[in-house]
Structure 1
Amino acid sequence: MAVTAEWIAVDWGTSKLRAFAMAGDTVLAEAQSDDGMARLTKDGFGPALLALVEDWLAAGVTDVVACGMVGARQGWVEAPYGAVPTAPLPARPVLVPETDRRLRVFVVPGLKQEQPADVMRGEETQVAGFLARNPNWDGVICLPGTHTKWVHVSADEVVSFRTFMTGEMFALMSGQSVLQHSVGAGWDAAAFEDGLGKTLSRPESLAAELFGIRASDLLHAMPSSAGRARLSGLLLGAELAASKPYWLGQNIAVVGEAGLSEVYANALKSQGGMAAVVDCQEMTIAGLSAARKLLG
């Protein structure tokens, strides 16, 4: 069925481009491609977007509101960071110059923190979407992924945040380190829980415990599924130990992909932290809708 978009919401990351044909706050259709920021030159963003959304365009000009790495220095247009503490959408989205005449494209700015130094692009839109759906909510929003964010929110502002490279560390260690020989497919819940407990109580032991995965394989033929789960548990335990000042005693929301979010929520529950799990795509769309309202 043919779809005509009133406007188009875009989540443009490093590896993926996702677009949503919108009527008000309602999604009419969605599409995605592998044309993430990392694959494109400056002159490639416009054609990549049109290839995905051209069939949704009506006569005249259609607004597009995009978030994510499309606004990075290497992206389509650099959208300057807003400094915390600030509203998650600190300024009107940035207009992309010289686009196809059928499009008016805006990019949502990211957020920065001077001390300790930190930045985010894309997650601020999910935070904005969560706050639009949950007004006057105070607490901590965890956004798990390759680079997990812990965001302290109060009075509808982002007060502070920290980023943990846990997801990237897992990918590198399981795929390129000596542990690749001891980490395989499958899952072992007991091995995960044991690893989580080890570094939650003694995060300084992380480096030694990591090599223990390889040693246990060589000496005790530990199954590769247990190696994978233990690696995940050790890394997440160290992250939760370091982020405890954020989540301890706070309202917690986990905004991410369902499977990974449940891992975080269950790990927090084991430490007495009760977290609500929220779909990240829904929050991204809600945040882009909020950003569109700033256009006037």
Structure 2
Amino acid sequence: MTRADWIAADWGTTNLRLWAMSAEGRVLHEAQSDDGMGRLKREEFEPALLRLAGDWLAPDRVTQVFACGMVGARQGWVEAPYRSVPCAPTTPGGFVEAPTHDPRVRVHILPGLSQSSPADVMRGEETQIAGLLANEPGFDGVICLPGTHSKWVRVSAGEVVSFQTFMTGELFALLSTQSVLRHGIAGDGWDEGAFLDALSDTISRPERMAAKLFSLRAEGLLHGLSPETARARLSGLLIGAELSGAKPYWLGQEIAIIGAEAVSAAYGAALRAQGAAPRLVPAGRLTLTGLVTAHAAQRSQT
């Protein structure tokens, strides 16, 4: 097996993904596991890394590992302090070295970003942003990163200027699986018209959202509202509230959406219904591109 010149790691709460890289930034091997930060004790991070990457390591030299994501959280391998915006999404010299016992590896963890007022933090998304800027160095506008905790990020002159987080994805998961609404919400399926109608309802009358949420349960009991339609309406109500709150970010701006295909499509449809013209950027290898950029910047400083 070809040995890695260095290793890129995307280490989230639920999953670990590694790439064995050549010195030129070419992918030699890939591996992934469910050894995310959320299931590991501090002393278990290094063994989890070695289980995947052990065969990539040369016995006679140190292999550098560059890792982003929740591995650098307070509950992770080692805390990588946040960098305050405005700043570039990644920068050389800001990495934190994790303690290791195996002499074949040296692990560098990328810090997240923070904002003092209103208080906000991100960890992992900054690397995707760095990947986008590596591909589009002239980008000036807003990046939407939908997910469990959606981020709206204003970018200008290669820097993250400000950002705001919305717990939309987590609220959807909680309401659809742990609230009274769970009895009438499908696990999949979609109704685009119902989604857009609910979106419009919330944007025009946000103070009615809590009542509209319970109406999903009532209409299921009284009028046979289908679980698929209820799912789409729940999504529309919550994303509508998010778009209302994020309006100062996206109104009149160039908007790039980075995320999983289905949720990105929903956000794209929602924004187009409000007269915006977002474009969907495949998340694909943006994190890897960001890690390659961080590694190259660090190497240029040494």
Range into which the TM-score falls when normalised by the shorter chain:
over 0.9
Tell me, yes or no, if the aligned pair for 2:100 and 2:106 is still in contact at 8 Å.
no
Cα distance, 1:37 vs structure 2: 0.5
Compared CA separation, residues 29 and 203, structure 1 to 2 (3 A): farther
Moved more, 95-104 or 208-217: 95-104
Q: Which residue of 2 aligns with 1:19?
A: 18
Provide, for residues 209-259 of structure 1, a one-character-per-residue CA deviation record: whole Å limited to 9, x for no partner: 101101110110101111111101110111011101000110111111122
CA distance in 2, matches of 1:3, 1:38: 31
Cα distance, 1:90 vs structure 2: 4.2
SS of 1:213 mapped into structure 2: helix
Residue 116 of structure 2 corresponds to residue 114 of structure 1: yes
Q: Which residue of 2 aligns with 1:51?
A: 51
Q: Which residue of 1 aligns with 2:270?
A: 267
Tell me, yes or no, if the aligned pair for 1:253 and 1:278 is still in contact at 8 Å.
yes
Compared CA separation, residues 261 and 179, structure 1 to 2 (3 A): same
CA distance in 2, matches of 1:266, 1:208: 24
Cα distance, 1:97 vs structure 2: 2.5
Within 5 Å, give how 1:135-174 maps onto structure 2: 135-174=137-176
Q: Which residue of 1 aligns with 2:210?
A: 207
Tell me, yes or no, if the aligned pair for 1:82 and 1:91 is still in contact at 8 Å.
no
Letter of the 1:81 counterpart: Y
CA distance in 2, matches of 1:172, 1:99: 40
Letter of the 1:196 counterpart: L
Within 5 Å, give how 1:60-209 maps onto structure 2: 60-92=61-93, 93-184=95-186, 185-209=188-212
- Once the two structures are aligned, what percentage of the paired residues are identical? 59
Moved more, 178-187 or 138-147: 178-187
Which segments of 5 or more consecutive residues in structure 1 lack a partner in the other structure?
none
Q: Which residue of 2 aligns with 1:228?
A: 231
Cα distance, 1:266 vs structure 2: 1.7
Within 5 Å, give how 1:253-292 maps onto structure 2: 253-292=256-295
Compared CA separation, residues 242 and 265, structure 1 to 2 (3 A): same
Relative to the length of structure 1, the TM-score reads: 0.96
Letter of the 1:181 counterpart: H
Cα distance, 1:208 vs structure 2: 0.9
Letter of the 1:255 counterpart: I
Cα distance, 1:280 vs structure 2: 2.1
Tell me, yes or no, if the aligned pair for 1:82 and 1:90 is still in contact at 8 Å.
no
CA distance in 2, matches of 1:75, 1:287: 21
Cα distance, 1:7 vs structure 2: 1.3
CA distance in 1, matches of 2:69, 2:141: 23
Tell me, yes or no, if the aligned pair for 1:252 and 1:275 is still in contact at 8 Å.
yes
Q: Aligned residues, how many?
A: 295
CA distance in 2, matches of 1:100, 1:202: 58
CA distance in 1, matches of 2:295, 2:269: 35
CA distance in 2, matches of 1:187, 1:96: 44
Provide, for residues 27-56 of structure 1, a one-character-per-residue CA deviation record: whole Å limited to 9, x for no partner: 222211111101011100000011111122
CA RMSD across the alignment: 1.2
Letter of the 1:140 counterpart: V
CA distance in 1, matches of 2:258, 2:2: 29
CA distance in 1, matches of 2:136, 2:114: 23
CA distance in 1, matches of 2:250, 2:267: 12
Moved more, 204-213 or 39-48: 204-213
Cα distance, 1:91 vs structure 2: 4.8
CA distance in 2, matches of 1:25, 1:67: 17
Provide, for residues 64-95 of structure 1, a one-character-per-residue CA deviation record: whole Å limited to 9, x for no partner: 10000000111111111000111111452211
Moved more, 153-162 or 267-276: 267-276
Tell me, yes or no, if the aligned pair for 2:91 and 2:297 is still in contact at 8 Å.
no
Which segments of 5 or more consecutive residues in structure 2 lack a partner in the other structure?
none
